[in-house]
Amino acid sequence: MDIRTNMTIPVNRNGVHVGDLTFDPSNTAFARKFYEMQAAFRASKDRYIEDARKIPKEDGLAFVALQERICKDVYHEIDGLFGDGTSAMVFGDAMSVDAIVQFLDAVADCVSAERAKKTAKYTRAKDKVLRQ
C-alpha cells in the first residue's frame, strides 16, 4: 500500500530553484495551523503599525529594524509549521515582508485548491442525491 498525502511545491527564488516545500494541504491539522499562523500575522500587523507610528520619520534605521523584527517573527512561525530551515530555504538572506506575503499567498492558494478538490467529491455526491 502506498498512501500519498503530501504535496511538493518547487521553490524558486529570483528564478533559481532553491528547494521544495512539502506539506499535506488536506490534513486538517496542517490547515488549521496554517490559517492560525496567517491570523496571527494579520493580528500582529496592528501592533507593528503602532510600533511604526512611534518611529520618527527621519529614523530610517529604526524602520529597517522593525521590518527585520517582523520577518524574524514570521520566519519563526514558518519554520515551526513547515520545519526548521524552511524560511532560510525560501527567503535566503532576504528580510522582506513582501516576500513573506508572496509565500503565504502561494501556500494559501495551494491549501484552498486542494481542500476544494477534496470537498468537491462530497458536494457532487450530495448534489446527485438531491437531484434524484
Q: What is the pLDDT of residue 126?
A: 57
Q: Helix, strand, or coil here: 83?
A: coil
- Euclidean distance between CA atoms 79 and 125, whole angstroms: 38
Cell numbers linked to 40: 496571527
Q: What is the pLDDT of residue 11?
A: 94
- Euclidean distance between CA atoms 98 and 118, whole angstroms: 30
Q: What is the mean pLDDT of each run of 10 residues along the chain (132 residues)?
A: 81 94 87 87 88 94 95 94 95 93 89 78 62 56
Q: Helix, strand, or coil here: 131?
A: helix
